[in-house]
């Protein structure tokens, strides 16, 4: 059995999966945000409950909203203060008496999608999250590529390419990103960026859902904005796809529900690739909120 924990700022979700990667049991409990001992105890109780239900000692993986430090095992996570700076993987391994694998939640999202029955046919899978921010993960032959510092796939912090400035105007303000730098593509390709761009061009403050609703109602500004955003997405993907050359790109996050953004995206990306390059398949994520615990469980799959 494969146990996958999705540790968030408000809840810890556990999913138990069998050898066929089917969910057999799940449970959620509140996250003890400010007490590390209670946090460890929550993981311990849930694991013991899963062992009792399955009559097995399942493998354990944990997806975290942050970055493990590969040098000393400490965790950086702003959303769960109790775990900040703690060696969560080591401490859980000692408590549970088994290896505990930890990765960031974007990598777990990508891994979950890469192990989808149909998507397993693709050797290189890029998961891209277009939500509050822009994140992602890279999976090669069923295994996540975490990199030196667990930031492989963090596409949101690449800089805007020159073609983006040609599209939007050389005088486009370079907004400050949450990472502290300016000009990250996250500031424009996220849900907030989608709304900010609309305001920049039309001087109206509207949320992404309202803009999308207006698009379907035939509003000319919303339709022009969507076309511009699609072109921007294709431009920004050009460098990323040239670097990684994935077979499949899976889109998640709130904006992925707006299918207009990625219908025909392969053709729109083509001019931004090398002449001989083939664009990947683009598909919407299939496993939604379960992706975190699925991907965490599958950290032990080979």
Residues 149-208 pLDDT 10s: 888 988 999 999 999 999 999 999 999 998 899 999 999 999 999 999 999 999 999 999
Residue 157 is labelled as binding a ligand = yes
Residue 10 assigned as binding residue: yes
Mean pLDDT of the chain: 95
Would the annotation count 140 as a binding residue? Answer: yes
Whether 135 has a binding-site annotation, put simply, is yes
Q: Is 291 annotated for ligand binding?
A: no
Domains of the chain in sequence order: 2-110+290-299 (3.30.420.40), 121-285 (3.30.420.40)
Which pLDDT does position 153 carry in this prediction?
Answer: 87
Q: The whole model's pTM is what? A: 0.92
Residue-level pLDDT at 49: 98
Please tell me the distance from the alpha carbon of residue 252 to that of residue 134, in angstroms, as a whole number.
Answer: 10
Q: Is 9 within any annotated ligand binding site?
A: yes
Q: Nearest 5°: phi and psi at 133?
A: -125, -165
- The pLDDT > 70 percentage for the chain reads 100
145 is in an annotated binding site: no
- In order of 55, 86, 131, 199, the CA distances from 223 in angstroms are 55, 48, 20, 14
Check residue 218 and give its pLDDT.
97
Has 287 been labeled as part of a binding site?
no
Residue 184 in marked binding region: yes
Residue 73, annotated as binding a ligand: no
Q: Is 119 annotated as a binding residue?
A: no
Residue 27 is assigned to a ligand binding site: no
**What's the confidence (pLDDT) of residue 269?**
97
pLDDT digits (tens, 9 = 90+) for 16-38: 999 999 999 999 999 999 999 99
8 belongs to an annotated ligand binding site? yes
At 302, the pLDDT band (50, 70, 90 cuts) reads confident
* Confidence at residue 252, expressed as pLDDT on a 0 to 100 scale: 94
pLDDT tens for each residue of 117-143: 999 999 999 999 999 899 999 999 999
Binding site annotation covers 6? yes
Tokens of 214: 């207006």
Residue-wise DSSP of 58-125 = -EEEEEESSEE-TTT--EE-SS-GGGTT--HHHHHHHHHTS-EEEEEHHHHHHHHHHTSTTGGG-SEE
For residues 268-289, give the mean pLDDT: 94
Asked if residue 15 belongs to a known ligand binding site, the reply is no
Q: Is 136 annotated as a binding residue?
A: yes
- What distance in Å separates the CA atoms of residue 240 and residue 159, rounded to the nearest whole number? 11
Residue 79 has pLDDT above 90, yes or no: no
Is 116 annotated as belonging to a binding site? no
Sign of torsion over alpha carbons 186, 113, 245, 224: negative
- The answer, yes or no, to whether residue 78 has pLDDT greater than 90, is no
At residue 42, the pLDDT reads 97
Q: What share of the chain has pLDDT > 90, as a percent?
A: 90
pLDDT at 215: 98
């Amino acid at each position: 059995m494969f146990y996958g924990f999705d540790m968030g700022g408000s809840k810890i979700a556990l999913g138990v999966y069998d050898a066929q990667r089917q969910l057999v049991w799940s449970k959620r409990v509140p996250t003890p945000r400010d007490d590390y001992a209670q946090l460890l105890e929550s993981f311990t109780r849930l694991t013991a409950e899963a062992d009792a239900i399955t009559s097995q000692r399942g493998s354990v993986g944990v997806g975290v909203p942050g970055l493990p430090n590969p040098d000393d095992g400490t965790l950086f996570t702003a959303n769960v203060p109790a775990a900040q700076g703690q060696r969560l993987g080591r401490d859980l391994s000692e408590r549970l008496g088994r290896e505990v694998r930890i990765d960031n939640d974007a990598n777990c999202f990508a891994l979950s999608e890469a192990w989808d029955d149909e998507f397993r046919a693709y050797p290189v899978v890029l998961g891209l999250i277009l939500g509050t921010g822009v994140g992602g993960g890279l999976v090669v032959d069923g295994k996540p590529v975490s990199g030196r510092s667990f930031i492989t796939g963090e596409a949101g912090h690449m800089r805007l390419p020159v073609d983006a400035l040609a599209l939007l105007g050389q005088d486009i303000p370079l907004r400050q990103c949450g990472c502290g730098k300016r000009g990250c593509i996250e500031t424009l390709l996220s849900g907030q960026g989608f709304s900010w761009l609309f305001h920049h061009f039309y001087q109206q403050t509207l949320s992404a859902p309202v803009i999308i609703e207006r698009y379907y109602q035939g509003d000319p500004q919303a339709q022009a904005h969507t076309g511009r955003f699609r072109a921007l997405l294709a431009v920004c993907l050009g460098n990323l796809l040239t670097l990684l050359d994935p077979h499949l790109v899976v889109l998640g996050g709130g904006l992925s529900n707006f299918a207009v953004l990625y219908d025909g995206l392969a053709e729109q990306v083509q001019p931004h690739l090398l002449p001989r390059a083939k664009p990947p398949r683009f598909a919407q994520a299939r496993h939604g909120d379960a992706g975190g615990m699925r991907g965490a469980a599958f950290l032990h799959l080979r």
